[in-house]
């Protein structure tokens, strides 16, 4: 069995490689793939039936969620996005896996999202002695966003907090998803602390580009799998999680 330090180093190397590959993807491919991913997600019954959706605000080279967020708001869904409430000092040079260069590339939606969730009805801190926490707040337009921590767009102070038990669907970013639903994130651990707080019947979907799939992320005890992954070519459902 691999030591914990060895697993962490393996994940770190995989993140570095996948970030490099993601950055090198052609712009035309990214745009086409992201549009196809959006369409596939919106065709799912779990999306159509969801009344409250927690979705990341894309930044840098992440799968673009601008049109997705606009569609959700136009459909009358309650749309929640993250705000960073606290961050531990000395956590390193990236936030949610975005470099300073990437954080400057997202324009109006140069954000990222994160988490704040818990077991149904249990409003406990998302960060249990770890790096920090994020909370979900409802927005009704992009006018409700402003640069927050690290220059990332976040909901403004007047936005209303959305409680964990209210969220039906959680849409998360990733570098890749393995065969068992193991999501390789950015190393901050925010989602791993967030996802266990979801209501048992809530669904977590990761958005991934097909060209970055194929890797098998090492799994640690705290890693929380997603329920499904959406790429431009397919929707992959995983049988486990809750």
Would the pLDDT of 133 be above 50?
A: yes
Q: How large is the average pLDDT for residues 18-31?
A: 97
Strands 132-139 and 169-172: unpaired
Would the pLDDT of 97 be above 50?
A: no
Query: Which of 227, 102, 108, 233 minimizes the C-alpha distance to 168?
Result: 227
Note the helical H segments in the chain.
4-24, 27-43, 45-49, 66-74, 100-103, 190-194
Whether 190 contacts 91, CB under 8 Å:
no
Strands 78-87 and 52-55: parallel
List, in order, residues 6 or more apart from 215 with CB less than 8 Å away: 14, 18, 176, 178, 184
Whether 84 contacts 137, CB under 8 Å:
no
Q: Per-residue confidence at 131, pLDDT binned at 50, 70, 90?
A: low
Would the pLDDT of 145 be above 80?
A: yes
Helix (H) or strand (E) holding 84: strand 78-87
Overall fold of domain 4-237: Rossmann fold (3.40.50)
Q: How far apart are CA 15 and CA 106, in angstroms?
A: 20
What's the pLDDT score for residue 103? 44
Q: Over pLDDT 90: what percentage of the chain?
A: 59
Burial of 128 (0-12, 13-18, 19+ CB in 10 A): exposed
Q: What is the pTM of this model?
A: 0.81
Please write the tens of the pLDDT for every residue from 206-219: 999 999 999 899 88
Would the pLDDT of 179 be above 60?
A: yes
Please write the tens of the pLDDT for every residue from 115-126: 333 333 333 333
Q: Give the distance from CA 156 to its chain's centroid.
A: 19
Please write the tens of the pLDDT for every residue from 44-74: 999 999 999 999 999 889 999 999 999 999 9
Q: How large is the average pLDDT for residues 12-30?
A: 97
Question: How crowded is residue 12: how many other Cβ atoms within 10 Å of its Cβ?
Answer: 11
């Amino acid at each position: 069995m691999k030591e914990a330090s060895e697993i962490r180093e393996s994940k770190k190397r995989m993140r570095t490689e996948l970030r490099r590959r993601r950055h090198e993807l052609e712009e035309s491919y990214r745009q086409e793939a992201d549009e196809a991913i959006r369409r596939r997600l919106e065709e799912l019954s779990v999306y159509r039936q969801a009344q409250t959706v927690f979705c990341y605000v894309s930044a840098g080279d992440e799968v673009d969620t601008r049109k997705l967020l606009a569609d959700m708001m136009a459909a009358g869904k309650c749309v929640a996005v993250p705000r960073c409430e606290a961050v531990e000092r000395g956590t390193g040079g990236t936030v949610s896996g975005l470099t300073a260069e990437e954080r400057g590339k997202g324009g109006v939606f140069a954000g990222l999202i994160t988490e704040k969730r818990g077991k149904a009805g249990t409003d406990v801190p998302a960060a249990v002695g770890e790096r920090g926490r994020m909370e979900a707040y409802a927005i009704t337009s992009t006018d409700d966003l402003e640069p927050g921590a690290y220059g990332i767009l976040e909901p403004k102070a007047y936005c209303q907090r959305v409680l964990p038990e209210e969220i039906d669907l959680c849409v998360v970013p990733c570098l890749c998803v393995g065969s068992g639903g193991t999501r390789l994130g950015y190393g901050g651990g925010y989602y791993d602390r967030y996802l266990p707080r979801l209501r048992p019947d809530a669904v977590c979907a990761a958005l991934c580009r097909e060209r970055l799939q194929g890797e098998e992320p090492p799994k640690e005890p705290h890693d929380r799998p997603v329920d499904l992954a959406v790429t431009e070519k397919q929707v992959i459902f995983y049988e486990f999680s809750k």
